[in-house]
Structure 1
């Protein structure tokens, strides 16, 4: 019962995360999920929606996530080249395609090699995603495509899943890797929330010290 409730909570928070990323990407005309993380995410959802579907409830959640990630991918295709001015569009799309193919087979072969039901791949790429969100924030030096709401929902979504497997999933209690992934991901997620807060403070300070663009920037801050 508690396992199911926590997993439903995880599904809800991650669904909200995806919706917020879509909304923010559309508003800022930028992609909101790190490229490699997106490729791994949509690959996992494709595999565990169509090739190796789980039990009914998780299958439905996976399908919803796949559709939402497909929208995020479409926005990335549309706005992604803007974030890499030194790359031609052809180079960007080529690299994105290679990343998608590589991610798909990496997740699939890892699953088959370790007779995994998607658990190791999911938590492993969650850790990767948490690190990549931090690096994306550092690289952009702005909240373009990002927000505190996204950071918090992402943290809560993964935390719920981690607690569910750590406390209530006996078949995985033998693992020495999963607890490390739970803790490491949580640490990076908390760090990301903290860095988003710092960036919000910095951008708010710019609003109050910029007489030229203050009104525009204030509107941007208030809409977060």
Structure 2
């Protein structure tokens, strides 16, 4: 692929929605990294972080979206930013669990889950269950991301290292991508359901975040 944008298979509106959504996620990653550096806390739930990192590797280097080089590099930007996030997830992520046994095996567990999700993502595409942009596996892991954010916010005793901006960015970013999915894949009810489910989870998370901030204040 040598064109920056695939205007043959996608309309300018579709590409604008998708690329804007991707860019908002890049900003969210940057804020997460800033908070890691400042507070030594990784706000991304470890299950979500493992699945996310595995998916990003596969769709950055094993398979390639046909949407154009802008989207190819957006996927890779996620991956390279996520290297730092995943490294610190291994370093600080055990703060998210309370079980001594889970803390003991936290790092190998995260590595195993990342490899498992990466292999599952690869197999999904090779089996023909996937779209050319990786949407099915992406939204499946996104449901886990948004769901795990809810369970994490209910467990934490402090919001230090957590950002409401990240919550809004990931909700709006994924929301724009979901609108794209409805337009470009009108006959994929699974993808539509996953997109709506993620949006509902993200709204719940923002509500819980605001409520917890009021309680802690």
Give TM-score scaled by structure 1 length.
Answer: 0.84
Quote the Cα distance in structure 1 between the aligned partners of 2:158 and 2:44.
Answer: 14
Pick aligned residue for 1:179 from 192, 197, 203: 192
Q: Which position in structure 2 is the counterpart of 1:140?
A: 156
Give the gaps of 5 or more residues in structure 1: 205-224
Matched length:
201
**Equivalents in 2 of 1:88, 1:105: separation in Å?**
23
Q: Cα RMSD (Å) of the superposition?
A: 1.6
Tell me the equivalent position of 2:6.
none
Higher helix content, 1 or 2? 1
Contact 1:7–1:164 under 8 Å retained in 2: yes
The 8 Å contact of residues 39 and 99 in structure 1, kept in 2 or not, is answered as yes
How is 1:8-23 mapped onto 2 (pairs within 5 angstroms)? 8-23=19-34
Residue 94 to residue 184, structure 1, CA distance change in 2 (3 Å): same
Unpaired segments of 5 or more residues in structure 2? 1-11
- How far did residue 81 of structure 1 move? 2.9
CA shift digits 1:161-197 (9 cap, x unpaired): 0011212x1xx21111111111111111011111111
Measure the CA separation in 2 of the matches of 1:82 and 1:190: 25
Larger Rg: 1
Is the aligned partner of 1:98 residue 2:104? no
Instruction: Return the alpha-carbon distance in structure 1 between the equivalents of residues 137 and 124 of structure 2.
Output: 7
Q: Does 1:111 align with 2:125?
A: yes
Whole-angstrom distance in 2 between the partners of 1:7 and 1:186? 16
- Equivalent residues in 2 for 1:74-223, closer than 5 Å: 74-84=87-97, 86-87=100-101, 90-113=104-127, 114-117=129-132, 118-167=134-183, 169=184, 172-204=185-217
